[in-house]
Amino acid sequence: MGSITLMWLILGAIIIAVNGVDGIKSFASLAINFAIILLMIRLISMGFSFILVVGVCTLVILWSTIYFGVSNLDVADIAFIGSLIVIAIVGCSFLEFFRWPRFKDLAKKTPLNWKTCHFMLALIIKAFLSP
């Protein structure tokens, strides 16, 4: 057993001992977030579009943090929709930031993949329209 595995087991035992059922949810959320960050690093290093990877991983991390941390699901739904709005605003400004050098002919070697951007926008719109 490695030292990192032992530290995770000790951390999980302490969180569960102190908080009980809420500790189990907190530890599960922490483990999911850690796994998603490792997966995100791996996918970006393999050459996937970083805009798509960061966008999807951000949504998964927000989902796990919000829904595992709240006992009232109505509050969690409102918080998740609010966070989707913030992600959409930040994503649009982020895309403009990457589009600006293309107009200035500064970034001819790194074209922006517009299919990725449309997929992210479709995910955000689908989340708004789903009941």
- Tell me the whole-structure pTM to 2 decimals: 0.56
CA proximity to 70, closest of 81, 58, 59, 78: 78
Tell me the pLDDT tens digit for each residue of 1-39: 688 888 888 988 888 888 888 888 888 888 888 888 888
As a whole number of angstroms, the distance between CA 14 and CA 38 comes to: 23
Least confident span in 19-28, 87-96, 99-108: 99-108
